[in-house]
Chains A and B, each alone.
Chain A
Amino acid sequence: MLSLNLPNYLLRHLQVMLYSLGQLTRTPVASVMTVLVIGIAIALPAGLYVMLHNIEKVTNQWDDASQISVFLQHTTNDSRGKQLASQLTSWPDIESVDYRSASEALNEFRELSGMDEILDTLPKNPLPPVLLIHPTKSAQQEAIQQLLERLQAMQEVELAELDMAWLQRLRTINETGQRGITIIAVLLSISVLLVIGNTIRLAILSRQTEIKVIKLVGGTNAFVRRPFLYTGFWYGLVGGIIAWLTLLITLLAINGPINKLASLYESQFNLEWLSGQMFISLPLFGLILGVMGAWLAVGRHLNDIEPS
């Protein structure tokens, strides 16, 4: 009697699945609103996550290129500067050294800042010549610190600075942000559960008669539960897809400005798009929340509805 006929079983599930979808299209306005709420609630933390992920990517990129700026004293002339550069190249922890004369530094600053007029009013070049030092890739934090001290101790050196301090700060902010996002994501997931749970609860109440009749003719709780679980499934799935679309559109909208900004900073930065992974994970996340929310609602109300 309890023969497990697999194709038959799957076919029945498919029927219930489509039936639930059909039910949702009967109340289009309510369904669309529910699905939008779910979509936005999922899109928000996902969007923040994508943003942080991109910031992290950029800072990692800079991490590789961690460099030391060595500001020489104003009095140092070009030939001495170049001499120092080639000397330093032979140091063990140094990969390469770029020498940038005071006037080169000024020109670069002029281009980037666009403050031509102000710069023209200055009586003399305020910028010192600079040695840009790239430590070897393998150099550890500690070695770089030592290198920094050795450079600082040199006679012609005014100031040796690791361009990392602010990066460290950005990282910390980033980590804090990630925790914040986790909390927001958890809170919004709970609200998605509640929205779906409440919607399903209303659906259950509006179908009490039907549930009673089903139980009277031998329907199990699992049978009664199934269409509601699929309702939650559809809400969650479509909500997840809407979240994905929302993110896609937002990213499309800010991609242009971000690329412009990146080019200003001579960065190779490209906004990382929602990968295929995101396309799968958002709807998946949505449908898991949907089924869970439905499960909670049905679990609470199913036993109350008994034929009498």
Chain B
Amino acid sequence: MIRFTDVHKRYTNQYEALSGLSFELDKGEMAFLTGHSGAGKSTLLKLIALIERSSSGQVWVNNQNLTRLPKWKVPYYRRKIGLVFQDHNLLHDRTVFDNVALPLIIAGENHREIGRRVRAALDKVGLLGKERNLPIALSGGEQQRVGIARAVVNRPPVLLADEPTGNLDPELSLEIMHLFEQFNQVGVTVFIATHDHELISRLSYRHIALHQGRLA
């Protein structure tokens, strides 16, 4: 599903954030991406989401060579990738419903379908009753669940999460991880960057460990 072959990433004139990275993630797999702060976890996920492009090497996602993907196709590609961030990236002047509906509105879904799928996604993350609230009125864990609902609302085959539990206490963190497990159980490929070793030691999934931009 996700394949890196000898990928290098150099930000403007700096040393390499990623160097000579090769690995593969199967369809339907769930894996953790670990490593110290600055190891290159975010950079790796950004390459998959095409927020950044590799300096050399190839990135393949869902049998598509991202190195070759023209710029105008990027938005359509991103619709097939669910993204979850540490700081949620919610729009604070819109309701929970409108936040979750955003990917569907962008994809041009019709009104009834939007309502149906937003409620299904909110139900999955246990926030059905809060759809009229503004994000500000929710707790950190709830905001993160809104972010997750938004990431899965258009049923992407791949779900990426960058430190999704970074701001949450251990109990809430575990809850969030169980949520990801549920999506993985219905076939979604899940890739989660985290440096919370304590948390992932409680879960038995593959680890891909980075150390200074290389596989450790």
B residues within 8 A CB of A210? 91
Determine the distance from Cα of A59 to Cα of B108 in the docked complex, in whole angstroms.
Answer: 58
Q: Report the Cα distance A12→B108, complex, angstroms.
A: 8
A5 touches B110 (CB 8 A): yes
A223 engages B106 (CB within 8 Å): yes
Q: How far is the CA of A226 from the CA of B18 in the complex (A)?
A: 37
Interface size of A as a range: 20 to 34
Chain B residues closer than 8 Å to A218, beta-carbon distance:
75-79, 103, 106-107
What residues of chain A lie closer than 8 Å to B90, measured between beta carbons?
Answer: 213
Q: Is B128 an interface residue (CB 8 A)?
A: no
Given A218-B106, A218-B107: A213 and B89 interface contact (C-beta under 8 Å): yes
**Residue A217 contacts which of B51, B72, B83, B111 (CB distance < 8 angstroms)?**
B83
Taking A217-B83, A219-B75 as contacts, is the C-beta distance between A307 and B51 under 8 angstroms? yes
Q: Is the CB of B102 within 8 A of A217?
A: yes
Residues of chain A with a CB closer than 8 A to B107's CB: 218
Q: How many contacts between A and B, using CB within 8 angstroms?
A: 50
Residue in B72, B79, B91, B110 whose CB lies within 8 Å of A213: B91
Q: Is A8 an interface residue (CB 8 A)?
A: yes
Q: Is A55 an interface residue (CB 8 A)?
A: no
**Contact at A217–B108, with CB atoms within 8 Å?**
no
The residue among A5, A216, A306 with the most chain B CB atoms within 10 A of its own CB is: A216
| B41 interface hit (Cβ, 8 Å) | no
| CB neighbours of B75 from chain A (8 A) | 215, 218-221, 223
Q: What string of 1s and 0s marks CB contacts (under 8 Å) between A100-129 and chain B?
A: 000000000000000000000000000000
Determine chain A's interface SS by DSSP, over half rule: helix
Q: Is the CB of A217 within 8 A of B110?
A: no
Interface 1/0s, chain B 80-92, versus A by CB < 8 A? 0001000001110
A45 to B109, CA, bound (A): 45
Using A213-B91, A307-B51, A308-B51 as known contacts, say yes or no to A219 and B106 having CB atoms under 8 A apart. yes
Asked if A214 is at the interface (CB within 8 A of a chain B CB), the reply is: yes
Kindly identify, within residues 1 to 37 of chain A, every residue whose CB is under 8 Å from any CB belonging to chain B. Answer: 5, 8-9, 11-12
Given A210-B91, A308-B51 in contact, is the A216-B106 Cβ separation under 8 Å?
A: no
Chain A residues contacting B72 (CB-CB under 8 Å) are: 220
Interchain CB contact under 8 A, B79 and A217: yes
Distance from B212 Cβ to chain A, minimum over Cβ atoms (Å): 21
**What 0/1 readout, one digit per residue, does chain B (170-193) give for beta carbons within 8 Å of chain A?**
000000000000000000000000
Other CB < 8 Å A-B pairs besides A217-B103, A218-B76, 17 of them? Answer: A5-B110, A209-B91, A212-B89, A213-B102, A214-B106, A215-B78, A216-B49, A216-B78, A217-B79, A217-B106, A217-B150, A218-B75, A218-B79, A218-B106, A220-B106, A221-B75, A306-B51
